[in-house]
Amino acid sequence: MNKIFTNPHQLEEWVEAAECIENRHGIERALGYLIGEKFYSLLEMLYSSRKIMRAIDEEQKTPGFNPIRVTKYGNREVVTDLDELYKREKEIVIGADGWIIKFVFLVNRSFSPHDIRKYFASNPRLGIQRHVSDDKRFEFMVKRGALEHSIETEVQDALIFGDMMKYFGVG
């Protein structure tokens, strides 16, 4: 599980931070931080790793597959070994399962099922900028290219949100 976090107590620290946020700003902000930002980011990373693995799987099926890729950036070259990348992403996917289960356990231990259900029912924004920004600021960041917002990201967010609800037994 250490392929995702270098700090073995990261999840506990996030839950403690959320408890402090609850004391200062209320339960909605606390769960927005913990579930809408941190848990969402964990699942988004899992989705990203699976997507990379699927893309590599497809490339491996092509005739003459060569796992070495050279990408040029100006006068620099970056060499990527797709076999090594696949291995790293697979380790993330395998490790994520344990982190997700532990995360849900810690959140359920610290916050009431009623508050968690209420949070999901509020149709919250997901991700750090969506969670802390109002509509005007969010739109500004999208227009300036600081945040990606497309049909693809909306679909992925909907899928992640559905998975989040399943993990917390909300549905």
Tell me the pLDDT tens digit for each residue of 79-134.
Answer: 999 999 999 999 999 989 899 999 999 999 999 999 999 999 998 888 876 667 77
Q: Which of 1-10, 15-24, 91-100, 132-141 has the highest mean pLDDT?
A: 15-24
How many other C-beta atoms are found inside a 10 Å radius of the C-beta of residue 38? 22
**What is the domain partition of the chain in residue ranges?**
10-167
**Confidence (pLDDT) at 118:** 97
What is the model's pLDDT at position 3? 66
Smallest CA-to-CA distance from 1 within 107, 105, 99, 101 is with 99
Backbone angles phi, psi at 106, to 5 degrees: -65, -40
Q: Return the percent helix, strand and coil in the chain, to nearest 5.
A: 70, 5, 25
More confident residue, 134 or 8: 8
- Confidence bin at 1 (pLDDT 50/70/90): very low
> How confident is the model over 32-87, as pLDDT tens digits?
999 999 999 999 999 999 999 999 999 999 999 999 999 999 999 999 999 999 99
Model pTM score: 0.86
Q: pLDDT at position 133, please?
A: 74
Least confident span in 14-18, 39-43, 123-127, 165-169: 123-127
